[in-house]
Amino acid sequence: MSGDAKSEAARRRTFAVISHPDAGKSTLTEALALHAQAITSAGAVHGKSGRRGVASDWMEMEKARGISVTSAVMQFEHQGVVLNLLDTPGHADFSEDTYRVLAAVDCAVMLIDAAKGLEEQTRKLFDVCRHRGVPVITFINKWDRPGREALELLDEIEREFRLKPTPVTWPVGMAGHLRGMVDVRDQDQMLRYTRAPGGAKEAVEETVSAERAAAEEGADWVQATEELDLLRETGGVHDPEEFLAGKTTPVFFGAAVSNIGVRLLLDAVVDMAPAPAPRELEGGGERPVDAPFSGLVFKVQANMDRSHRDRIAFVRVCSGVFERGMTVKQAATGRPFATKYAHSVFGQDRTSVETAYPGDVVGLVNAAALRVGDTLYTERRAVFPPMPTFAPEHFAVVRPVDIGRSKQFRRGIAQLDEEGVVQVLVSDRRGDQAPVLAAVGPMQFDVVKHRMENEFTAPVRLDPLAYSTARATDLEGADALNRSRLVHGEAMLRVRDSAWLGLFPSRWHVSSFEREFPDLPLETLIAAHQ
């Protein structure tokens, strides 16, 4: 079995697509699946017929707003390699969900808008990748529209990320005037693209010789070849070891909505992205991929199937072989857990999975006992490092609109807390009927209202609180804060992990409390908006 795990892990690539909102992330996700022939037509179809929803955006709210508010998993094969693609929310308000996904992948594709370059959320997500040691492949998108110069974008990546960009493809023609693409590894030819109507199918590729490209494209071809010569002279050549060490990023150009340059990116994920490797354990040491089964719960999602109202825990297989029906242990409790209902997930669609290997993502259905960050294992115990929780900056009291729906209200709020949609805080002073929701960004509250009404049939009212800062404390610090009679703020217990948080209107109030109680602990939490 260990031999199976090792050989199967070698043909897995588990990666996420990350970007700033509106850079085209979900469109690229769909285009990659299209080129791998996992779907027959891409969802981001523009034109008179309108826009269909992409497979990875399955929630009604996502379809209505045209944004991703939750991560999604898609598995498909390309060139004999199994690809596990994790789409992530682009909006900064859902940073926690994205961080959890990045704990489950071995590589990331960073999407950059050709006109806008590096944007705020792109910078934050790259910092997370660097912190976790996740190598990054860069795809500069929307080259079929007016944008900045290619060399200027590379300079920005190197300057701001201290990361050497090494182009693997290079555009012939400026942004908005794309004439073709050169594979840097074979500069004796150019790829010319004919876009499919509406972008629903793969763009037709035509291979054009260098001589013909020079004759037909003139100055655009000359400029492209001169720029490539310059990059080669300055060391902008892909080196696999430097890439895996996080010192360089392979760069690709294209247009996801037109399916231009996507095949070359997909091939690169197969060729360049690392296969699953031994995983770091809490307290030191590693879990080899051929060790007995272990897995990390990185996401919990309810109501993906509205007809069954079920709950799925997404588990990244880290070592060994997962077999449906096997009994595993939950590291936090030591209790056994049966895996009778295990699914492979493609967007919202799912099929039963009998076997899974390192790098794969398994959806365990109705896994009520599992929480985000849990480690599962068989035989030799394993505990993976915990996932940090971001510091909330927005707070609101939540109440049911209809008191007769209190049971549904309590169940829904508990479910959203377990999924990590928001953090739920309670205190004796406020009572169970009026918990406080804590969020990184206000759009999380929109998700709560939408899901409480549509999934749990318990509409809610949110009353904002005048707090903007949270600090971790202990019971003694919580008592002192509450005795201050709201002079400084108030303390509440986070339901998910029974941790005390001090809530303050501002950092000035934090400083005031620290001056009055210098011996009591107040710890800064990880900030999502640094």
Measured between alpha carbons, how far is residue 428 from residues 432, 450, 479, 482 in Å?
8, 28, 12, 11
* CATH topology for the 13-272 domain: Rossmann fold (3.40.50)
* Range of 147-156, 437-446, 451-460 with top mean pLDDT: 147-156
Question: Was 197 annotated as part of a binding site?
Answer: no
Question: Was 131 annotated as part of a binding site?
Answer: no
Position with higher pLDDT, 10 vs 29: 10
Looking at 276-426, list the stretches that DSSP marks H as alpha helix, in order from N- to C-terminal side. 406-419
Instruction: Reduce the DSSP state of residue 465 to 3 states and report it.
Output: coil
Contact present, 141 and 112 (Cβ < 8 Å): yes
| Domain parsing of the chain, residue ranges | 13-272, 279-377, 394-524
- DSSP assignment of 238-278 equals --HHHHHTTSEEEEEE-BGGGTBSHHHHHHHHHHHSPPP--
Identical fold between 13-272 and 279-377: yes
Return the biggest CA–CA distance within the chain.
81
Measured between alpha carbons, how far is residue 302 from residues 70, 369, 418, 456 in Å?
12, 13, 10, 10
Does the global pTM surpass 0.75? yes
The CATH classification of domain 279-377, taken from the options 3.20.20.70, 3.40.50.300, 3.40.1790.10, 3.10.450.50: 3.40.50.300
Contact present, 276 and 12 (Cβ < 8 Å): yes
Question: Was 87 annotated as part of a binding site?
Answer: yes
Contact present, 110 and 269 (Cβ < 8 Å): no
Select from 360, 365, 351 the least CA-distant residue to 319: 360
Contact present, 424 and 439 (Cβ < 8 Å): no
Place of tokens 């209790």: 335
Position with higher pLDDT, 197 vs 430: 430
pLDDT per residue as tens digits for the range 36-59:
766 554 443 333 333 344 444 434
Burial of 505 (0-12, 13-18, 19+ CB in 10 A): middle
Residue 68 pLDDT greater than 50, yes or no? no
pLDDT at 185: 84
Q: Per-residue pLDDT averaged across 259-268, rounded?
A: 93
pLDDT per residue as tens digits for the range 319-356:
999 999 999 999 989 999 888 888 776 655 667 888 99
344 - beta bridge partners? Answer: 351
Select from 35, 470, 21 the least CA-distant residue to 256: 35
* CATH topology for the 394-524 domain: Alpha-Beta Plaits (3.30.70)
Indicate the pLDDT class of residue 200, thresholds 50, 70 and 90: low
Question: Was 388 annotated as part of a binding site?
Answer: no
Residue 3 pLDDT greater than 70, yes or no? no
Residue 281 pLDDT greater than 50, yes or no? yes
pLDDT per residue as tens digits for the range 101-147:
888 999 999 999 999 999 887 887 888 888 888 999 999 999 999 99
pLDDT at 2: 54
Residue 69 pLDDT greater than 50, yes or no? no
Residue 503 pLDDT greater than 80, yes or no? yes
Question: Was 93 annotated as part of a binding site?
Answer: no
Residues composing the chain: 530
Q: For the chain, give the percent of residues with pLDDT over 90.
A: 54
Report the C-alpha gap between 423 and 90 in whole angstroms. Answer: 20
pLDDT at 309: 59
Find the radius of gyration of the CA atoms of the chain: 25
pLDDT at 129: 87
Least confident of 239-253, 393-407, 443-457, 479-493: 479-493
